[in-house]
Amino acid sequence: MISHSLWRDGISPYSFKISSGGIEKSSFKNDDSMNFSRKFFGISFITSFSRLFGLVRDVVMFATFGTSLFGAAFLFAFTLPNLFRRLLGEGALTSALIPIFSQEYHQKDREAAFQLFNQVLSWAILLLVGLVVAGMLLLWALSGISGLEERWSLGFRLAIILMPFMFFICLTALFSAILNVLGCFFLAAAPAIGLNVAMIASLVMANCCGFEPAVKVYCLSGGVLLGGIIPMVTLVMQLRRQCWHWRLDLGPSSALKEVRRLFLPGLGGAAITQCNVAISRMLAFSLQTNAISLLYMANRLIELPLGIFIIAITTLFFPRMARSFAVRNDAEFVQQCERGVLSVLVISIPSAMGLYVLAKPILLTLFSWGQFRAVDVASALPILRIFSLALPFYALSTFLTRVYHARKNTRLPVKASLCAFGVNLSLTLWWMHAFGVQGIAWANTLAVVFQTFYLQQRLSSLGMEFSLRVLGRPMVGIMIATAIMGATLWVASGCRFCFQNASRAQHMGLLVWFILMGVGLYLSILAILRGYAMFPFFKWCRK
């Protein structure tokens, strides 16, 4: 992690040298000398802390509501602000802002970069206020339609309450993105912790007070709003320490024009992706009451390894790739891409195998509480296993999209998202009535597989192709180690005595033991197979 004292003193650790010929390639020496492993595991640690609170939040929520009407209505209502959070805050806007902010920062100075940020922030505030007001009015009109089923009516009412959360969380994501560029990765990961703590506290308070489920769901909505405000204020204070001062600026600039040029195509791609998610959830909500809860649970468990490791990898590599492209260092850019893809594969493939094999113990141990009963576990099991197959493809598509964004190419991800949306919607409508929730899960999985292969195949249009020497050999080691780990976990977790008549603490202890055993076995096999010529990933990690 970059020392905060360096930033406070106005010293950039990247030491770019400006000359008449441009920015010298030696600019990256200090960056390469940084200990990637230390930064990666540091970000993973703080993200793990955040995801742990997220897991506790989901456990408490499902224990409180199960897969009932109230929990399903809340998840439906929470979809809309989350859609715009990923659409604007964590999607198109940050993807367009980071490369240009990085360019302004390193080619000019900090003042120019913060001026651009103030311009983007000013326009974002106007846009978000308009969207929140318009959304609340539309939802209020929809909630007043006569003859609505209770689940739809309650969902619309809760969505009205949750709409302001969209404003707070989108601005928080923008602040986090700028802190990432400035090297403050750990603090930028903190907002999710605040949100999860607020939601957990609101549910615990509602349960302790003995409120009815109809009241508890409103308490949870209030916790969401509180969890959106506190992290935003915290990040504003941190940015002020980086010498940023807020100033309303709606004036034009060449940098702002470039952000807009990247933002609009990226917005289309992000809109397609998030509409894909929203439509899937709406169709599930219309199919049966518990369908949206089952899909949400499976998706949240998939996001656990994605959030802990894959997002950490993307967070580290995206600014690096953006800097490489900004200084026209193509060799460095390709090298960062290859390293990023290897990092994604070495983590996501065994994670998918472990999640598939341990799906039942995970559901029984973590979620079989309160209103979440054995029948719900049985319903969620096949959904989770289907989603686990998609984990490596979710990870790769996320990273490859950032590769295109780092090169200021937002059009190809739009095309990929549009094609994936068509695949998902077609298969969902075809399979949902025949196969129920599992049909929707398979449609989501096949759509992300298609999207990943589309993005990978079109890399050649950027003049980039990952060599088999770099990716082929490591894949052999990854697949061998994953297969052995999966077979061992399947046999160990399948023993009837492991979970039969065990207490809750014993269940938890066994699950932790299986996970640690799988991780240890996987890493041991990779260490045996590595041979630096056979497995260059390890050699790079030790730099």
Q: Does position 368 have pLDDT exceeding 50, yes or no?
A: yes
Q: Does position 12 have pLDDT exceeding 50, yes or no?
A: no
- Encode pLDDT of 173-225 as tens digits: 888 878 877 766 556 556 777 888 899 999 999 989 888 888 999 999 999 99
> What is the rounded average pLDDT for all residues in the chain?
77
Reference 360, options 510, 516, 488, 521; nearest CA is: 510
What band does 466 get if pLDDT is binned at 50, 70 and 90? low
Q: Does position 8 have pLDDT exceeding 50, yes or no?
A: no
CA dist 431 and 206 (Å) reads 39
CA distances from 388 to 268, 302, 347, 391, 478 (A): 27, 6, 13, 5, 17
Q: Does position 19 have pLDDT exceeding 60, yes or no?
A: no
What band does 532 get if pLDDT is binned at 50, 70 and 90? very low
DSSP H helical ranges for 85-212: 93-107, 110-143, 150-181, 185-188, 191-208
Average pLDDT over residues 317-333: 78
User: CA torsion, points 64, 69, 72, 78, in degrees to nearest 10?
Assistant: -90
- DSSP state letters, 344-389: HHHHHHHHHHHHHHTHHHHHHHHH-STT--HHHHHHHHHHHHHHHH
Average pLDDT over residues 376-389: 88
**pLDDT at site 482:** 92
* Structure-token match 């799988």, residue found: 518
Average pLDDT over residues 297-307: 80
User: CA torsion, points 97, 98, 101, 107, in degrees to nearest 10?
Assistant: -140
Average pLDDT over residues 122-128: 89
Q: Which helix (H) or strand (E) holds 23?
A: strand 22-23
Contact 364, 499 (CB under 8 A): yes
Q: Tell me if residue 518 falls in helix, strand or coil.
A: helix
- Encode pLDDT of 420-457 as tens digits: 888 888 898 888 888 888 888 899 899 999 999 888 88
CA dist 211 and 205 (Å) reads 9
Phi-psi region of 2 (alpha: psi -120 to 50; beta: other; left: phi over 0): beta
Phi-psi region of 352 (alpha: psi -120 to 50; beta: other; left: phi over 0): alpha
- Encode pLDDT of 27-48 as tens digits: 334 444 445 556 666 666 666 7
**pLDDT at site 419:** 86
- DSSP state letters, 76-117: HHHHHHHHHIIIIIIIIHHHHHHHHHHHHHHHT-HHHHHHHH
